[in-house]
Structure 1
């Protein structure tokens, strides 16, 4: 089988595992397990908490002792057992602990998936930059297919979503061992020590001497806090329309409707080079921030019928701009703004702010906000979404004021092409 096809299969199932529960677990915890908003937010925060340290630890293990494709397989075998165990618990404390462990192995498996793909492409003398994007897009497709399966099978309130995810992990645990073998590399201890501390230790702090980059990282935390809010609360929000619109499409297929957000990602990714080239990073990030205002605002005024449904669909469409214009453009800017010998450290900090600190802040704070605006077990969703929209607007205004940047057309786009 063509190696690009094999890697596409790898990426498809890697994100199928995540898509099976990421946007539906919130309604399962709310409806089936009767968790509070704060508890649901805490469970989703485990993704951010584990992202602070597990990818680094697992990466070192892959570099020193266990070939990356084997370690990837071992992670997914552990995920299988944990997901099946998750289906047997109902108390918050046990559910939280098990989900924490699931993310301890799933979150680093994402970076291991990339490492496997890069290693195999390099081994086959294939251009990574040219070939990987067309491989990675199958990950997004896998996420969408999983979300649609959960919706069509009506499993958003069922533990079957975790069984489906475990099945895909079991496949990956076996499939990983069929991939071309890689080798571990143990460099000289002195070099290894210096490399580690350069990336994760005191020398990395010198990155913050660049005031503009430091401010950008601060805003990355604030922006990272909004990235998972609609993944956590989108399905519970749509399902609550069942009180007044029990037969509506948005209620019966809430996961399907929300998955349109992921479809829009594949479209807006292609628009990033044009916007970055023409307007520069400040305008692109501001576009993302304003898009989040509309993402939340459209949820606040939307409903499952007539124009209301149009607003919900518009929210799904604009999500791709809100998410990708910040994540991908931000990574490009960090690469461009950082000295060559510190770019890996800077990307690690960017990943920590957007995938760790930000989501932790967003998961917990959104849980408090949802609980605060819940009266007699009924959530005041329009108010909740307008609070989130107001937060995004404040961040946008503050970013426009405090982030000083003058677009250099030739310099910026030269780096992107490179």
Structure 2
């Protein structure tokens, strides 16, 4: 019976480990050698399960396993430190709390101490199996109801909220490890066991509440960002239409006099006054250049053109040389709001970086595009000058704006939007030449 319970416990622990490790493939990019690290991780989990179930101290075991989980996730996925801490502490803390509910419950029911339960192999193996069943049920509840994947991705993007949840969750684990020290000092009394059970239950509820609260705040932050993008889109469309209105009004004013001027040219030609007619044509040309506004076009996509028009105006205000010609193929299915979400963030960041360059002659912003017909990819490249210091965090430049909770996720949103279209975003920072370049690659069907 003991061997059966031991094998069942190890199988349940491996099932929990596999579910946990594979879950993150949906949210994070995998690193080279992923399956090798995955296999090593399962071997470590199997060995650790056997060891933790028999001899290892729960304190040292929990802390050691937390470090192992973080290292495993680091080798397998492209996660930042807060994401690693959150997922690592979630795995270990939830397992530790489930164990902390079952063992004292067994001790209370049997009228024995927790130490007796731990050293009685049959009772301990049964308690371990029940703990893992509770953990698997909670894991399913957590991933499907409390923190489903789509909502968790929003929390992963919100650095401040994730940091708060990850640190607090780790502190809850540390708190229970501290409370557990009481069993070494003769506090193995019924009230202590009951207190320990209630504390573990509270930790579960607190963890769920914290994660749900963090997700809700992250969703509100992105909703605020989405609202700002919609307002930008409307504002830029109005600016675009106003520019067209000024162009048509200036052309209408020129057209009003054009008929009379051309009549004069015809009269001069009929009278053989060719030199005067030529001067009159030059006058008409000069008048058109002065009166008719030139409307520059930066893209064949009207929404992208409005974004680039606005960027051009801002560059003029900050004495930044601006050049852009971005061709968007009709076959690329991209929503207008995604155009605004991507390029307004990029141009705003580029202009902010350019404005910090001391020498006005060195400030520039360039946007180009190209289509590779052989492999069916559209490449949009944006380059700008910067002051030479780029604080990078997890491959992304750290925002220097005051409200970093909103602005700090800008490039992450751009990256996620591009990837949702099947594309890629690449960042290249040339500190020597002080040039910051972002390349966007979109798959297209030609």
In the superposition, the TM-score normalised over structure 1's length comes to 0.30
The structure whose residues are more often helix, as a share, is 1
Task: Answer with 1 or 2: which has the greater Rg.
Answer: 2
Asked which structure has the greater RCO (Cα within 8 Å, sep 6+), the reply is 1
In the superposition, the TM-score normalised over structure 2's length comes to 0.28
The structure whose residues are more often strand, as a share, is 2
